[in-house]
Structure 1
């Protein structure tokens, strides 16, 4: 089973909409959790490593605008899409002022939902499963999970592709191992002892070397982390 492309939290008190959104997101390859009131939604968003929060405006115990403001203060980079009533322009303006990245007006089509979800994830630097990267003569294809050079190719796992995408997007700096555990593996506790990052890096280097033994794309900076070499 492939790991999910991203983790999404849905905060929505209407059971039909909540379950429908969850089903659609899971069908499209995402992991989706739900909360049906504002307070539990805020707690889930603050306590979990979510790539995106879909946030309704009208909620029991705490409204969506208050949740958005709190999230923006405590998690400044958290991507948020507000779910607003159709034609409620004031809600849209208030949502953006509260810090939302985008909004979707109810009722919405499933196609519009996925387009907006993928757009916000792409802007935030989260993998959407469609990434394609060309570097030092090697083409990394996120759609088909392959690394290709000329007539030769190596199969990639989804996690390996997500790792490539994250390092490539942050190529201007050294990326600590703990950050990779949080942002790529979605570990809630990045202080745990694990060699999973090192093992994935070793496997990736071997696959890249089989395509071109002269290419060194992932540099280890001892005691600090990893850096993408261009």
Structure 2
């Protein structure tokens, strides 16, 4: 599902993904995008931030209230750190800044789709120290006396870091193993840092 109000960009994206063999639906404003996102079944939602009616942030938040496993990539203004941080904090899997490389966008969509189809670990619970217990299947955790919830991407990060707890894990490794991006992909992104900061706020007592 492509949610984009600028006709030239929307048409170009639709042609691009049809060319690559995808079935594509679209919405040209926020209200239609939200309605389709909540009522349909989509492998991935490509969501612009600046939309008439309802902006992309609210749409992302509403989707996450209903479905924590839906892959979402947000389209943000290139220079707007605030948009990037807000979008990822609301649960987007990744962002692509405008103007974007068409080839890189396709690679990132393919990577997110590929990771979303990977069968997850059959281990249902994972203990992170004494105070945190992950419930992998329900995308949640007990943190002391609190219960917190995660998106699928956040849970994948925690699973990978737990499985490799005996050694340092780099940003590039997380992008490769969790997001599925090729190691040689020339990518400047704050996605990992923002996801890690959000996870620390959720599971640490003093995340500063």
The normalised TM-score by structure 2 is 0.57
Residue in structure 1 matched with residue 70 of structure 2 by the alignment: 78
Pair 1:120-2:112 in alignment? yes
Pair 1:24-2:16 in alignment? yes
Residue in structure 2 matched with residue 63 of structure 1 by the alignment: 55
The number of residue pairs the alignment matches comes to 123
List alignment gaps of at least 5 residues for structure 2: 124-208
For 2:68 and 2:120, how far apart are their aligned partners in 1?
A: 18
Residue in structure 2 matched with residue 37 of structure 1 by the alignment: 29
Residue in structure 1 matched with residue 79 of structure 2 by the alignment: 87
Residue in structure 1 matched with residue 46 of structure 2 by the alignment: 54
SS in 2 for 1:32: coil
Residue in structure 2 matched with residue 13 of structure 1 by the alignment: 5
For 1:73 and 1:80, how far apart are their aligned partners in 2?
A: 13
Q: RMSD of the alignment, in Å?
A: 1.6
Q: Following superposition, which runs of at least 4 residues in structure 1 exceed 3 angstroms of deviation?
A: 170-173
Residue in structure 1 matched with residue 190 of structure 2 by the alignment: none
The CA deviation at 1:171 is 8.9
Pair 1:109-2:96 in alignment? no
The CA deviation at 1:83 is 0.2
Q: Which has the higher strand share?
A: 1
The CA deviation at 1:124 is 1.2
For 2:74 and 2:120, how far apart are their aligned partners in 1?
A: 28
SS in 1 for 2:25: strand
Provide, for residues 3-27 of structure 1, a one-character-per-residue CA deviation record: whole Å limited to 9, x for no partner: xxxxxx0000000000100000000
For 1:171 and 1:61, how far apart are their aligned partners in 2?
A: 40
For 2:44 and 2:36, how far apart are their aligned partners in 1?
A: 12
SS in 2 for 1:99: coil
The CA deviation at 1:172 is 4.8
Provide, for residues 127-164 of structure 1, a one-character-per-residue CA deviation record: whole Å limited to 9, x for no partner: xxxxxxxxxxxxxxxxxxxxxxxxxxxxxxxxxxxxxx
Distance 1:37 1:170, change over 3 A: same
Provide, for residues 143-190 of structure 1, a one-character-per-residue CA deviation record: whole Å limited to 9, x for no partner: xxxxxxxxxxxxxxxxxxxxxxxxxx36959xxxxxxxxxxxxxxxxx
